[in-house]
């Protein structure tokens, strides 16, 4: 049995295998072709934290492959409010389904869940930890939109401290041989563990506080939301809220071939006028969650 908990669990070859398989899923994801690959299989999506894209794209992926979905979005209507532990919830749900997609506010929750599960666990975000399936869809987007996934100059912008998407993505991008610039407000810098990984790989570019400093040499501008819900003190959030706004003026300072990505949801960090620019790829990126999650499910649940 194989779980998907961290990008550290994937070799470059395995990443490429998932992405290649996802290419073959695009027509099914769009509804232009049909598939019964996972008929009779059940996916449990248990989300202890809010989600739109991750949960719905996993559900669409399973449905489009002919499987079924159970689960909950928010714990209000579950036995969690009665005091049930994560361990017991996982023991039980893994008896109802062939794989479990888990999102949880605590870092390490997905790894813990593997100890109690009889089926594969897919980490759909564990607090400020990791978000490996988001990284796979980000890489799929990068490969499709730029034609490559190595030798790129990638600037990660925003809340690098609490943002789980950028923790996973930075590591995967370094594994693949890309140079990473880190752009964050004071106090929201990338954790040392990730910075150390980039340094060891010789792929740590520039660390700075403003995107203007790196935009001219950026192939991919990856923007993230300030993770309001992770701040211990709301006053600290207010100090950095709205600190960045990617607008057409900033985009014009980058290379014409630069693309802009964002895991979404966006709040104010990308101006709506950017949506119409050819550089904007974040909605395509959100769609790509479907074929990539289809690929993962077919590998984990489909038995091949
Ligand atoms: C992200 C998350 O939940 O970490 N959303 C997502 O899954 N696409 C990013 C965020 O919430 O800012």
pLDDT digit string, tens, across residues 130-156? 999 999 999 999 999 999 999 999 999
Domains 7-130+288-302 and 132-286 share a fold: yes
Reported as a pLDDT band with limits 50, 70 and 90, residue 213 is very high
Ligand 1: residues whose CB is within 6 Å? 53-54, 125, 131, 134, 164-165, 225, 263-264
206 φ/ψ angles, rounded to the nearest 5 degrees: -110, 140
Give the residue extent of every domain in the chain.
7-130+288-302, 132-286
- Taking the CA of residue 103 as reference, the ligand 1 atom at the shortest distance is 3
Ligand 1 centroid–CA 134 distance in Å is: 8
Going by their DSSP bridges, the two strands 259-261 and 220-223 should be labelled as parallel
CATH architecture of 7-130+288-302: 3-Layer(aba) Sandwich (3.40)
* Arithmetic mean of pLDDT, 3-28: 97
pLDDT single digits (tens) 155-179 = 999 999 999 999 999 999 999 999 9
pTM (2 d.p.) = 0.97
Q: Would strands 220-223 and 153-157 be described as parallel, antiparallel, or unpaired?
A: parallel
Q: Give the whole-angstrom CA distance, residue 109 versus residue 236.
A: 26
Closest-CA residue, ligand 1 atom 1, reads 263
C-beta separation of 44 from 121 below 8 A: no
Give dist(CA 298, CA 283) in Å, integer: 24
Domain 132-286 classification at class level: alpha beta
CA of 164 to the centre of ligand 1 (A): 8
Instruction: Check if the beta carbon of residue 261 is closer than 8 Å to that of residue 109.
Output: no
């Amino acid at each position: 049995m194989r779980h998907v908990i961290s990008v550290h669990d994937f070799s470059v070859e395995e990443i490429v295998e998932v992405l290649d398989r996802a290419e073959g899923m695009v027509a099914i994801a769009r509804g232009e072709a049909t598939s019964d690959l996972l008929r009779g299989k059940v996916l449990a999506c248990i989300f202890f934290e809010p989600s739109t894209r991750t949960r719905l794209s996993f559900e669409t992926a399973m449905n489009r492959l002919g499987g079924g979905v159970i689960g909950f979005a928010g714990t209000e209507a579950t036995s969690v409010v009665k005091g049930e532990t994560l361990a017991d919830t996982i023991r039980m749900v893994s008896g109802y389904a062939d794989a479990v997609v888990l999102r949880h506010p605590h870092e390490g929750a997905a790894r813990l869940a593997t100890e109690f599960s009889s089926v594969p666990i897919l980490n759909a975000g564990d607090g400020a930890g990791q978000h490996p399936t988001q990284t796979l869809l980000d890489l799929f987007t990068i490969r499709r939109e730029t034609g490559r996934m190595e030798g790129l100059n990638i600037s990660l912008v925003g809340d690098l401290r609490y943002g789980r998407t950028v923790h996973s993505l930075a590591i995967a991008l370094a594994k693949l041989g890309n140079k990473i610039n880190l752009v964050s407000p004071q106090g929201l810098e990338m954790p040392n563990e990730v910075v150390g990984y980039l340094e060891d790989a010789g792929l740590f570019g520039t660390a700075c506080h403003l995107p203007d400093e790196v935009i001219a040499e950026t192939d991919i501008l990856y923007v993230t939301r300030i993770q309001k819900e992770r701040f211990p003190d709301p006053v600290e959030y207010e100090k950095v809220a709205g600190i960045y706004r990617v607008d057409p003026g900033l985009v014009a300072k980058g290379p014409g071939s630069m693309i802009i990505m964002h895991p979404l949801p966006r709040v104010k960090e990308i101006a709506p006028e950017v949506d119409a620019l050819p550089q904007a790829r974040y909605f395509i990126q959100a769609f790509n969650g479907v074929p990539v999650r289809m690929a993962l499910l077919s590998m984990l649940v489909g038995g091949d």
